[in-house]
């Protein structure tokens, strides 16, 4: 199996936009640099949090290049969100990411066409075989895709050399337990939900693909390292302290709240692309209250 080395805290990075709706590449550079200097071991670029459904392939490719250049030499990894519900499209995008020399690819469960488990296995296997030199992280998020990849399917896929990890965002701890039992220790499980990071660590997860790490990356690192070193009381203390933030940044569809939070902190991330819309005033007020309670502003 290819050594993946993505670390503990992986930030699913937002995509900043200008007032005219175009991608703000200069702000993306600044944000990427900030994240890797504040707790992020790796960055997912053009994932769901990066509004990938409304980015063009050309915009995504440019973002990959910009962020790669920015973090070069900082020991951080770049994971390209190159998944699709079209196997051919996912292969083409992943091959381009591999040619750039990116460090990994995030492959979401195909959405809308809702393939059976045999189709999911064939989909991910085809991508892995067509792109043998790039480590692949599977992404299970049935709340968005309408289909869940079952642990048994993950177990079979984990036998493929360059399928090295899974972002488990089903909200079902039992899934993570089952995956951990039937995959080798070299296969890494990441929580796909900030609030479940600590619980999933107890059943063998490595870390988290995080949204909250835009704001509290160092604290998440501290929590995970405390747990790993046996200081479970400190880990629990950090988890409970950050719990209100974990909840409020998912008070409506991601990435609406996290973009609002970043704006409150002074980041020029811009508006969202339709069909996503701005955070409602009452929700933004509560978000600001929790951010202030944590002394983030």
Catalytic residue among 121, 139, 259, 284: 139
Catalytic residue check, 72:
no
Please list, residue by residue across 104-122, b when 16 or more beta carbons sit within 10 angstroms of its beta carbon and e when fewer do.
bbbbbbbbeeebeeeebbe
Catalytic residue among 61, 121, 167, 259: 167
Residue pair 189/205 in contact (Cβ under 8 Å)? The answer is yes
> How would you write the pLDDT of the chain (297 residues) with one tens digit per residue?
444 589 999 999 999 999 999 999 999 999 999 999 999 999 999 999 999 999 999 999 999 999 999 998 888 999 999 999 999 999 999 999 999 999 999 999 999 999 999 999 999 999 999 999 999 999 999 999 999 999 999 999 999 999 999 999 999 999 999 999 999 999 999 999 999 999 999 999 999 999 999 999 999 999 999 999 999 999 999 999 999 999 999 999 999 999 999 999 999 999 999 999 999 999 999 999 999 999 998
Short-list 24, 265, 48, CA closest to 145? 48
Catalytic residue check, 139:
yes
In angstroms, the Cα distances linking 35 to 2, 40, 89, 216 are: 26, 6, 29, 10
Short-list 23, 101, 79, 20, CA closest to 56? 23
In this structure, the dihedral spanned by the alpha carbons of residues 251, 177, 149 and 125, taken in order and rounded to 10 degrees, is 130
């Amino acid at each position: 199996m290819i050594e993946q080395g993505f670390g503990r805290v992986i930030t699913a990075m937002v995509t900043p936009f200008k007032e005219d709706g175009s991608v703000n590449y200069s702000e993306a550079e600044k944000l990427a640099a900030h994240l890797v200097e504040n707790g992020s071991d790796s960055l997912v670029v053009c994932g769901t949090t990066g509004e990938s459904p409304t980015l063009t392939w050309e915009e995504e490719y440019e973002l990959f290049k910009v962020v790669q250049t920015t973090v070069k030499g900082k020991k951080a990894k770049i994971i390209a969100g190159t998944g699709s519900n079209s196997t051919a499209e996912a292969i083409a995008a992943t091959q381009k990411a591999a040619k750039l020399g990116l460090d990994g690819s995030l492959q979401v469960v195909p959405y809308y066409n809702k393939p059976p488990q045999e189709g999911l296995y064939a989909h991910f296997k085809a991508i892995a075989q067509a792109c043998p030199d790039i480590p692949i992280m599977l992404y299970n998020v049935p709340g968005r895709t309408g289909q869940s990849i079952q642990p048994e399917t993950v177990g079979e896929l984990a036998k493929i050399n360059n399928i090295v990890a899974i972002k488990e965002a089903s909200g079902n701890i039992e899934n993570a337990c089952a995956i951990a039992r039937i995959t080798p220790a070299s296969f890494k499980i990441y929580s796909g939900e900030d609030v479940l990071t600590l619980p999933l660590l107890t059943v063998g997860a490595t870390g988290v693909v995080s949204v909250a790490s835009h704001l509290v990356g160092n604290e998440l690192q501290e929590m995970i390292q405390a747990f790993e070193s046996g200081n479970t009381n400190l880990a629990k203390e950090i988890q409970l302290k950050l719990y209100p933030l974990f909840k409020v940044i998912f008070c409506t569809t991601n990435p609406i709240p996290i973009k609002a939070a970043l704006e409150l902190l002074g980041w020029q991330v811009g508006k969202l692309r339709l069909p996503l819309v701005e955070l409602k005033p009452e929700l933004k007020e509560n978000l600001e209250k929790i951010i202030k309670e944590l002394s983030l502003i």
